[in-house]
Amino acid sequence: MLEWITTIDLATLGVTLLRAFIIVTVGFLGSRAASGLVYRLLSRDGRMERATLARRIVSTGVLILAGLTAMSELGFDLSILLGAAGVVSVAIGFASQTSASNIISGLFLIAERPFSVGDIIEINGQAGVVLEVDLLSIKLRTFDNRFVRIPNETVMKTQVINLTRFPIRRIDLNMTVPHTIDMPRVRAVLFEVAAATTLVLDEPRPEVMIGGFSANGTDLLLVAWVDRTNFIAVKNDLILQIHKRLGEEKIDLSPRQKTILTQV
């Protein structure tokens, strides 16, 4: 090491440093250009998570290559570095098992594609829009505008519900009607409201299912299909229209009074 230092002179050192600087600069610019090109090529089919990952790999790879080349230019013996890196990597490997697991899970997620950037998913009770699918984690924006980071390992181990995978969704409206109610009339009202709602799909046809008898009455389930982009608006509209029609028909769904007798 000392022999190395004593054999150089300032002029040579200056030229060497300049060359190293140029290599690093070219490497930096090259990494930006290469990663940008890779991103543009891979994002054409809309698979943004794959394009983002590839951009980062290319960028990091080119920068590492440029860095190693610059270090080689400066006279560092890379074999020593690689040897040290081997030892360090073993130590890091033990310490970063979770990160490695997240990276591998991330690769599986990108290959399997249970969801994409822009989809709305529900995971562990959190629902939100997928912002990014990275090597280590996915990022969501919740509907109340919170940022949620979920490690990929968690995503792989947990049930994920993709609310926007298919073009249509079913609205389920549960209600319990008193036993004494005129059931055919209630069903007729529900069918009429569904039929009158333009955004409710004609097919699959709306249905009114009778769930069974409970202590409070008879359980009904109105199911109606909609374009998934109209899900919330139509669900709200159906509830309002049903409420209005039941009022017009003077159908009272409030639970009947119960008399409880106790003996002292």
Closest distance of CB 227 from other proteins, Å: 6
Under the binding rule (CB under 8 A), the answer on residue 167 touching other proteins is yes
* Out of 120, 130, 220, 225, the residue judged to bind other proteins by CB under 8 A: 225
Angle at 254 between CA 248 and CA 255, to 5 degrees: 150
Residues in the chain: 264
Query: Is the CB of 227 or the CB of 252 nearer to other proteins?
Result: 227
Least distance in Å: CB of 118 to other proteins?
19
Tell me: does residue 121 bind other proteins (CB under 8 A).
no
Using rule CB under 8 A, residue 248 touches other proteins: no
Stretch that binds other proteins, among 2-10, 33-41, 47-55, 225-233 (CB under 8 A): 225-233
Give me 29's structure tokens. Answer: 């610019």
Residue from the set 77, 172, 202, 252 that interacts with other proteins by CB under 8 A = 202
**Cβ closest to other proteins, residue 138 vs residue 238:** 238
Q: In b/e form, how buried is each residue of 34-66, taking b as 16+ CB within 10 angstroms?
A: ebeebbeebbeeebbbbbbbbbeebbeebbeeb
Of 193, 200, 206, whose CA–CA distance to 234 is shortest? 200
Asked whether the beta carbons of 133 and 106 are under 8 A apart, the reply is yes
172 binds other proteins (CB under 8 A): no
Q: Which amino acid is at 238?
A: L
Per CB under 8 A, residues contacting other proteins are: 166-168, 170, 198-204, 225-227
